[in-house]
């Protein structure tokens, strides 16, 4: 008996979702390099590592002499309703405008990312941003990663959130703390210090619910 889908690690769930979707669309399984790019895995060697673990768990079978030699077993079936397609609507980076995505922006997004619904829960209000910069490296969010955001104007102290600074026309991804009429925006990088903004000049655009590593 193989593992249930929910027992796979997060990267393995992403790989399983990507393989399933790819086969649905193309009729053949993806190559290791396609899995690396499509599932956001750091390297082809890490893809091979996860595939071997999934093979031991009887989630899939591999024919190593074939470039497309992957066969998903029956036990952990992934259905399309188990996959969330989240639009990538822009970039989150200090010192660059990033208006809150509205319904038109979400509907018109040209790029998207696929992720298991089990990782994000309710898909309503989700959108994705590409991270530029290294202010959140200690939160394991690196330059080039994708953050899955949930549109929300309220966050709890310590939440990772996208904040639009209305008086500066700038956006930033930081850990947020409310202190009276101010917000403390804390980077997760030991070389950077927190800074404070007036709450009336800060608009919460959403909070981070999941990170897709690409570096």
CATH number at residue 30: 1.10.10.10
The region of weakest confidence among 10-14, 120-124, 143-147, 193-197 is 120-124
Pick the catalytic residue from 37, 43, 67, 135.
Answer: 135
Distance CA 210, CA 163 (A): 17
Statement to judge: residues 189 and 98 lie in one domain: yes
Task: Choose between 181 and 106: higher pLDDT.
Answer: 181
Indicate if 123 and 172 belong to the same structural domain. Answer: yes
Please state, in angstroms and rounded to a whole number, the distance separating the CA atoms of residues 29 and 60. 11
> Structurally, how many domains does the chain consist of?
2
- Tell me, what's the pLDDT at 30? 85
* Last-in-domain residue among 61, 78, 95: 78
* Two tokens, residue 62: 């591999």
Burial class (CB in 10 A: 0-12, 13-18, 19+), 182: middle
186 catalytic per annotation: no
> Do 57 and 98 share a domain, yes or no?
no
Q: What is the 3-state secondary structure (H, E, C) of 97-142?
A: CCCCCCHHHHHHCCEEEEEEHHHHCCCCCEEEEEECCCCCHHHCCC
Residues 98 and 37 in one domain: no
- What average pLDDT does the structure give for the chain? 77
Nearest 5°: CA angle at 88, between 83 and 90?
165
Tell me, what's the pLDDT at 75? 45
Asked whether residue 97 falls in the same domain as residue 137, the answer is yes
66 and 111 part of one domain: no
Supply the pLDDT for residue 4.
Answer: 46
Task: Give the domain-ending residue among 45, 62, 78.
Answer: 78
Residue 32's domain spans which residues? 5-78
Q: What is the model's pLDDT at position 29? A: 82
Of all residues in the chain, what percent are helix, strand and coil, respectively (each to 5)? 30, 35, 40
* C-alpha gyration radius of the chain: 19
| Catalytic pick among 14, 171, 174, 186 | 174
Asked whether the predicted pLDDT for residue 80 surpasses 60, the reply is: no
Same domain, 30 and 93: no
Residue 183 sits in a domain of what CATH number? 2.10.109.10
- Do residues 87 and 143 share a domain? yes
Domain ends where: 78, 106, 130? 78
| Residue 159 contacts residue 172 (beta carbons within 8 Å) | no
Pairing verdict, β 170-179 and 111-116 = unpaired
Looking at the fold, whether 44 and 135 belong to one and the same domain comes out as: no
Q: Are residues 120 and 40 in the same domain?
A: no
Q: What is the pLDDT of residues 142-197, one digit of tens each?
A: 888 888 888 887 788 888 888 888 887 788 889 999 998 999 999 888 888 888 99
Sign of the torsion angle spanned by Cα atoms 84, 87, 91, 97:
negative
135 belongs to the catalytic site: yes
| pLDDT at position 96 over 50 | no
pLDDT at 182: 92
Judged by average pLDDT, the poorest of 26-35, 42-51, 68-77 is 68-77
At what angle are helices 32-39 and 44-56 packed, to 10 degrees? Answer: 100
């Amino acid at each position: 008996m193989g593992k249930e889908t929910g027992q796979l690690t997060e990267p393995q769930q992403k790989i399983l979702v990507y393989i399933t979707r790819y086969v649905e669309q193309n009729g053949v399984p993806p190559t290791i390099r396609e899995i690396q790019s499509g599932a956001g895995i750091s390297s082809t060697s890490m893809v091979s590592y996860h595939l071997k673990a999934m093979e031991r768990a009887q989630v899939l079978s591999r024919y190593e002499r074939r470039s497309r030699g992957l066969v998903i077993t029956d036990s952990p079936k992934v259905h399309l309703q188990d996959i969330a397609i989240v639009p990538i609507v822009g970039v989150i980076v200090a010192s660059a405008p990033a208006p809150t995505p509205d319904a038109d922006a979400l509907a018109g997004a040209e790029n998207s990312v696929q992720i298991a619904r089990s990782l994000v829960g309710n898909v309503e209000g989700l959108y994705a941003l590409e991270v530029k910069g290294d202010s959140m490296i200690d939160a394991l969010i690196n330059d080039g990663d994708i953050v899955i955001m949930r549109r929300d104007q309220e966050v709890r102290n310590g939440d990772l959130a996208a904040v639009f600074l209305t008086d500066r026309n700038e956006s930033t991804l930081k850990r947020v703390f409310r202190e009276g009429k101010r917000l403390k925006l804390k980077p997760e990088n030991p070389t950077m210090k927190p800074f404070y903004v007036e709450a009336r000049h800060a608009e919460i655009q959403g909070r981070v619910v999941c990170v897709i590593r690409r570096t």
